[in-house]
Amino acid sequence: MNNQSPRALAFSLLLRSENDKLYSNVILDTAIRRNKLNDADRGLLTALCYGVLEKQITLDYLIDALSDRPASKLDDDVRVLLRMGLYQLRFMDRIPAHAALNETVSLTPKRARGFVNALLRHYTREGNGIALPDREHEPISYLSIAYSFPLPLCERFVSIFGFDRAERVFASIDRTPPLTIRVNTCRTSVAKLSERMSAAGAFVSPALHASTALRLEGGNPTALPGFTEGDFFVQDEASQLCVEAIDAREGMKVLDICACPGSKSFGMAINMKNTGSLTAFDLHANKLSLIEKGAARLGLTNITVAARDGRSFDPSLEGTADRVLCDVPCSGFGVLAKKPEIRYKDLSELSPLPDIQLAIVENACRYVKSGGVLLYSTCTLFPEENEGNVARFLARHPEFSLTDFTVGDLTSENGMLTLTPDVHGTDGFFMAKFIKE
């Protein structure tokens, strides 16, 4: 894989993703580590991989409109190359059309080079005239093609939000999200780190809601001043607000039930000023080293890790914790802007999730001491995983009640807060805060 151009790398990664259904962020991070790419090449590789995955439905619609051979009938390698070429021509304004066309054709196997060349040239002549489905008469098809979401997911979002709000949510997801970091206030201040990063040429701005967050425009965070010293870590603002909501304080005993990759554990440990004890559990033992390495870099010594199924009761923990966080496994439909392949999940396969989530929170609630706090959170916008599970939990556990909270400039309603990309400029996120009587 070494010494390949960013387009050649993108082609190989997208082909792997097409065939093996791998997570884009995992294979992309691996490729970036193995190849010594400058910032420009790294940026092009990332934009192509995420962009082509994100716009796959739109790109296949264009292929179908430009050719009598539909995208679904093409060989995988030809389909991926056409998507790459069309993505550059339609969505990447800074790339000249001749460069996008020529570079794509050069990657194409000889058997299909003429076909790929002809289709891309056809697009440069007539592509802007390809009509989308009519917004008024075919609203679901319009959303699907305009924003590249499968029809069932479009129907689901419209059923939750209504058509106009669903389109606003999709349009917000369509924008490249800023990178948000959490400042390690055990080691530095927001002002000092912001000044240091700006002096190094980074584009830094305050976050929208969280006081310990900064937004970065582009660049590699691991190359920025303060990363090696543990002055910050990457964490979306919604996740940071979740940490604020649980209100972990100095000297407390805190349990993070589904902790990996660990950013919420780190945030709570920092808010505890590296005192007390925080145990980070996760079902997958092989992932716990991520938390240990992150805690070591950040200088957080109050975190310990353990492999545990969140549904399995540990009698030694019963009634011992001041704070318990259940950031449960979920459908992930709040982080579509960062993980584009989530949009292609089969919705019918997600029906067991609410029961799994409820089982986790019903088990974990037994660890909360009298007067302690339980926080339930997801990174999805589906009501059955959010408000629906809250209602089911309260019906079974009268010893808990919802309690309102304020995080940054936001206040919960009836103990619950839903963050959405269109309103809050963050990931889609849900949190509910309970207190044990």
Report which of residues 130 and 41 the model is more confident about.
130
pLDDT at residue 128, as a whole number: 85
Torsion of CA 423, 426, 431, 435, to 10 degrees: -100
pLDDT at residue 107, as a whole number: 96
pLDDT at residue 364, as a whole number: 98
pLDDT at residue 333, as a whole number: 96
pLDDT at residue 22, as a whole number: 58
The verdict on whether 258 is a catalytic residue reads no
pLDDT digits over 182-227, tens only? 999 999 999 999 999 999 999 999 999 999 999 998 778 888 999 9
pLDDT at residue 21, as a whole number: 63
pLDDT at residue 205, as a whole number: 95
pLDDT at residue 25, as a whole number: 66
Report the run of H or E that residue 378 belongs to, with start and end.
strand 368-378
What's the rounded mean pLDDT across residues 57-70?
96
Is 179's pLDDT higher than 70?
Answer: yes
Is 228's pLDDT higher than 50?
Answer: yes
Mapped onto helix, strand or coil, the DSSP state of residue 215 is: strand
CB 347 within 8 A of CB 384: no
Is 1's pLDDT higher than 50?
Answer: no
Residues near 205 by beta carbon (within 8 Å), at least 6 away in sequence: 214, 215, 217
pLDDT digits over 270-311, tens only? 999 999 999 999 999 999 999 999 999 999 999 999 999 999
pLDDT at residue 3, as a whole number: 61
Question: Residue 24: pLDDT band by 50, 70, 90 thresholds?
Answer: low
Residue type, 6: P
Report the run of H or E that residue 400 belongs to, with start and end.
strand 400-402
Question: Residue 23: pLDDT band by 50, 70, 90 thresholds?
Answer: low
pLDDT at residue 35, as a whole number: 75
CA–CA gap between residue 354 and residue 325 (Å, rounded): 17
pLDDT at residue 246, as a whole number: 98
How far out from the chain centre does Cα 62 lie? Answer: 27
Mean pLDDT (the chain, rounded): 94
Cut 0.75: pTM above it: yes
pLDDT at residue 220, as a whole number: 80
For the domain made up of 238-436, give the CATH fold: Rossmann fold (3.40.50)
Domain ranges of the chain: 6-129, 139-173, 182-234, 238-436
CA–CA gap between residue 31 and residue 1 (Å, rounded): 8
For the domain made up of 182-234, give the CATH fold: Alpha-Beta Plaits (3.30.70)
- What Å distances lie between residue 417 and 99, 125, 327, 384, 391, CA to CA? 47, 48, 14, 15, 14
CA–CA gap between residue 96 and residue 286 (Å, rounded): 44
What's the rounded mean pLDDT across residues 325-332?
97
- Selecting from 1.10.940.10, 3.60.10.10, 1.10.10.60, 2.30.40.10, what CATH number does the domain 6-129 have? 1.10.940.10
* Residues in the chain, overall count: 437
The DSSP call for residue 259 is -
Question: Residue 359: pLDDT band by 50, 70, 90 thresholds?
Answer: very high
Is 11's pLDDT higher than 60?
Answer: yes
